[in-house]
Each structure stands twice: as C-alpha cells, then as structure tokens.
Structure 1
C-alpha cells in the first residue's frame, strides 16, 4: 500500500512546483525577492505576477517571498541551479550573481559608467542584444533562463562617514559581496574589499565591519541604510540592472503557451518599471533628505572613470563586440 500513497505524499510537499506536468492546467510557482515589500523591485514583481495570472485566467499563480526570506542572490541562485531542486521557480536576481557562474555577458551590465541614463538602459532592455544575454545562462546549462530585465535606478556609494570625493575611499572597508567588478572598483579606489551578504549588510554597517556600500536610492531608503550610514555620494557608477529568471527545469516543463504568457508578462512588468523608477528616485531622495541623509554631487566623473579603467577593460575583454553594441544604443 505504501507504494500507492508515496507519489501523493510527494506531490503534496511539492505544491510550489506543480508545473512539472505540461498538461496540468493549474500551476503554482514560488518566486524569491531579496528586497523587502515596498521596494521598487518587489512592486515590479507584483505587477509581473498580476499580469501572469490575468493572461493565464488564473491558471498560473506565483507566490512571492520578499525580504530575502528564501536567501540572498547567491543562495537563491545556488538553489535554483541544483538538479532536481524545486523549491524556487522564479527569482529576481542581480546579473552579477549570474556572471559569477561564468556567464561573462551578464558581467557587462555591471561595468562602471556603461549606461548614460535611464533611456539608454531601456533601449538596451528591449533590444536583440538583451535577448542574447537573457538566454546566456540557459544555453550554458547553468540551470536558469532570463525572462526580462528591470532596473532599480543608478547605484551610488553611501557610508558611515562623510564622502566628499574619491579620495575619501582610500583605506575604507567597502562591501563587495564577492562581486569581481565591485572588487575591481574597490581596488581602483584604494579601499579594502569586504564580502558581506546583502541580508547582513545593515548589521555590518552598524558594527563597522564595513564603512562603505552601494545601492540605488530607492533600496537605500527601503532598507533603512541611511539610519546607520547617512552619507551618500551621487557618483552613479552603475545603473542597478536586475533580472527576473526562471529555473530551467521549470521552463522546460511549461507548454509553449505558458512560456509566452511569462514572456509577455515580463515585458509588461518592464514597462511598469521603466515608468516608475525615476519617479520613485525623486520621492526617495526627498524622504531621505528629510530624514537626515546627506548627499554630495559629483561634478567631475573623469577621475572616477580613470580609477575604474582596469576593471572596465578586464570585464569587457572577452565580449568587446557585444559591449560595443550596448554602448552604441545610447542616444
């Protein structure tokens, strides 16, 4: 009798991955989000989820777990890339985390000073070169496939101490989270690279384990980092590109129609993000200023670019042609 009941027990524990059968109509998926509810990325996630449910007439539902409950970028990606892993089906991740798996084209999105402005990024996000990068981990057999890109605004450095210019970075402990590009930036600025998980960053700033980190304005506010590190210098070294990915095992289990629904919903969510980010950046800065955050403008970016010259050339070295395509999309 046990053999007859065993499959039923397994299915009951894997309700979050009921998509294993292409013919099954009702599909419930689990989505991981490192940032908290209220953040711009979580709001985009919800728009994506609503559109998926709408387009599928409620046959595909997605349960969002925000605030890093399922782990940070590294932990989530590791879980998704394990053969047979069914706990997390979809996640919003940093392209840098995927680049760490050998997907070098993903690393191009984190190259300092690549995107001139928001319009430049969104022109890229809807271009053929973006599709090539989204497919990179799937074709490489990493275990995930990109669905769509989004952004969290330009990233800026913030600190527990005043930041007036690039010279203030020398000797400081800079959070890099194992990101080779960030480590290169830290080296160029003569700082000390410290690997700290995002979920531990607040306490690391409190205790002095790190003194400098970087985030987009909206995330800086959403995570209350300004309460422990109130000084931000608006260098805009990177546009905070993010990517929603799906586990390859989940993707391969879906029908053609189901895949089209996810892709279409992704495009809708991307458009929502494009329209929302700049407005949220402005609102966030106003709130942060009112709550005591101190901002410094960067008048001359040239010495910052010079400090990053080595990491820029190293990161684009194996993908110079495709990087050139991204740069040429600027208006």
Structure 2
C-alpha cells in the first residue's frame, strides 16, 4: 500500500513538473513591455531510430512549430524508445506527463473503436485510396474521437503496406496454408491469418528473428523497411507482396496539454502537424524503395500478387464478422474509392 502511495506521489510530481516547465514564460513581458505568448518546452516520444521516416517527420513538425512561434515553443524529439514503448507512452500522454508522441493506429483502437477498422484486410485498393479516406471528414473525425481518451489526434503519417514473408517459397495463397505465421496480438489479425489458411502465432516483435531462425514459426508479415531493418530477410528470404493491411501512424498531443494552449498556438501546432505529413510521406516512399532495392540485392525472392480478389474472398468472413461495427467508416472508405 505504501509503495502505491509513493508511486502516486511521484507521478503527481512528474505531472506538476511538466506543467511548470510548459508554463514558463507565460504572460512575460519583453523589454519593450509588449506581452508575448507563453514559452513552452515539450517532449515528443518516438519508438523508431533517429533516421527513420516517421522520426524525421516528427522533427519536421517540431522545426515548423519552432519557426512559426519564433522559438517560443520548442518540441524535443526523443527517438529509439528513450521515453518508453508505445503502450506505456500512450498512458503517459493521457496523464500529460509526456506531451506528444507518434504511434501506430493499431493500439489506438483500444481508445477509439473506429480506428480498429484500419486493421481490416484489403479494405484499401492503394496508397492513394487510403490517403483520400484519411484526409476526408471521416478520417478527421476518427482523429478527433481520441479526445474522449484524453488525447488529441493531430495528423496521420504513412507506414506503407504489410505483406507476408517466409522461410520457404511462397508465391500464392495456397502456399500460406498450414504455415505458422507471427502476427501482432489482435483478434482481427489472428482471424485474418486463420481465414487465409495459416496458423496465427502471436509473439513480441523482438522474438521474431530467433523464432524464424529456429523454425518456431514459418513466417511473419510486415512492410519492406521493417522486413529489411529487422534482418528478418536473412532467415526468411521469400516475400509475397499481397499488401493485406495499410495501417497509418498517428501524431498525438496530450489533451491536458492541448487544453492549456491558446487558440493561436493550437492553430500553429495543428497546421505544423499537417504540413509535416508531406515530408514524412516523401521520406517514407524513398525509404521503402531503398529497402526493396537492398532486399533484391541480398537475394530475396519477391513475388507480387497481381490479383487480390481470391485473397479478398478468403477473408470475407473476417469482414462479415467485424464489418457491422464499422459500417459507417467502411461506407466512407468505399466512398473514397469512387
């Protein structure tokens, strides 16, 4: 009991400290006795390395905010999981102990149910289709829906599409049948793998390389950059480009922090987030192409799925199972297709 009280006290001090730091300079006067806006120093938590496209997007966002406030608002980016892993960081952002973060939309479905639709397989025909939806009224509504969970969604970032890779040749849907495939721990992902005839094997990302190496699993799924940077291609040299999921990233701010900002500062931060998307997407596209080239040079066999209809037919039970709870969003996704 005493330990819990000490933890609560420490957490209160942490939050109070954040408020004190962010409030410094508020209402201060310049030498000309002209009032200037409040000065803030915020932190942005990022799990990816410093040179990763999402981290570079974070940095562009911070740079734009700094420039547009004449240095009054400084956002320091902490890459490589320095402030913790995504789930722990999300909790800290809700408390206001960490002000900003960039996370995958997948874990955010726990806080805004509508975001879960983004994990459904084959709902987007292309990257252009996805972005047309994300920038629509419904896409913005999904970002705003995070406010009920003490977070404010600022913008979406790209993370490409996910495809399958394995230790043995996979060139078709039939080749997946019976394979043990590692997936992220979510019901939708597990149901998708089962519908495709494979055996879903949830496990932490950090264990995948050794599991592939020892044959505990036969394959996994991810985007080109992650497949390359994780070195999974060294033990699973067959990549089947089916693009079953396109799950974007989300740039977030704590609502506790957001509510303390002036309307002018809110406008600057929101627009800077939206303007940073162009940089992030361009860097992602370049990074993806470079990763593909390196994979081909390393001898990876890449097979592209040219007809996705059999794959869509196979996962129809998954869409039928979860579709009703995402009816409104799926209709908006279909509208973006047209």
**What TM-score range do you get, normalising by the shorter chain?**
0.7 to 0.9
Task: Work out the CA distance in 1 between the residues paired with 2:321 and 2:136.
Answer: 24
SS in structure 2 of the partner of residue 240 of structure 1: coil
Equivalent position SS for 2:121: coil
**1:1-331 paired onto structure 2 within 5 Å:** 10=13, 14=17, 18-19=21-22, 23=26, 25-81=38-94, 84=95, 86=97, 88-101=98-111, 103-138=112-147, 141-331=148-338
Structure 1 residues 300 and 50, CA, compared in 2 at 3 Å: closer, same or farther?
same
Cα distance in 2 for partners of 1:212, 1:251 equals 42
Q: Tell me the distance in 2 between the aligned counterparts of 1:49 and 1:161.
A: 44
Distance 1:302 1:12, change over 3 A: closer
Distance 1:126 1:76, change over 3 A: same
Tell me how far 1:230 sits from its aligned partner: 2.6
SS at match of 2:65: helix
Residues 1:22 and 1:38: Cα distance change in structure 2 (over 3 Å):
same
* TM-score (normalised: structure 1): 0.85
Query: How big is the shift at 1:267?
Result: 0.9
Give the conservation status (yes or no) of the 8 Å contact 1:39–1:222: no
Task: Please say if residues 233 and 300 of structure 2, whose CA atoms lie closer than 8 Å, have aligned partners that are also in contact.
Answer: yes
Instruction: Provide Cα deviations, 1:190-221, integer angstroms capped at 9, x if missing partner.
Output: 33323323344444444544432222212322
Deviates more, 1:204-213 or 1:126-135: 204-213
| Aligned-partner SS, 2:77 | strand
CA distance in 2, matches of 1:34, 1:191: 30
- Gaps of at least 5 residues in structure 1 are 1-5
Change (3 A) 1:198 1:41: farther
Cα distance change on mapping 1:229 and 1:76 into 2, 3 Å:
farther
Structure 1 contact 34–72 (Cα < 8 Å) conserved: yes
1:3: which partner in 2? none
Structure with the greater alpha carbon radius of gyration: 2
Q: Give 1:280 deviation, angstroms.
A: 3.0
| Offset at residue 321 of structure 1 (A) | 2.2
Secondary structure of residue in 1 paired with 2:131: helix
Change (3 A) 1:13 1:237: same
Give the distance between the partners of 1:322 and 1:191, measured in 2 at CA: 28
Residues 158/32 of structure 1: CA separation in 2 closer, same or farther (3 Å cut):
farther
| Equivalent residue pairs, number | 319
| TM-score, normalised relative to structure 2 | 0.84
Query: Over aligned residue pairs, what C-alpha RMSD do you find?
Result: 2.8
Q: After alignment, is 274-283 or 113-122 more displaced?
A: 274-283
For residues 211 and 103 of structure 2, what CA distance do their matches in structure 1 show? Answer: 22
Ranges in structure 2 where 5+ consecutive residues have no aligned partner: 1-8, 28-37
Partners in 1 of 2:220 and 2:322 — Cα distance? 21
Contact 1:156 1:234 in 2 (8 A): yes
Is 1:21–1:254's contact at 8 Å kept on the other side of the alignment? no
Give the C-alpha shift of residue 269 in structure 1: 1.3
Q: CA deviation at 1:53?
A: 1.5
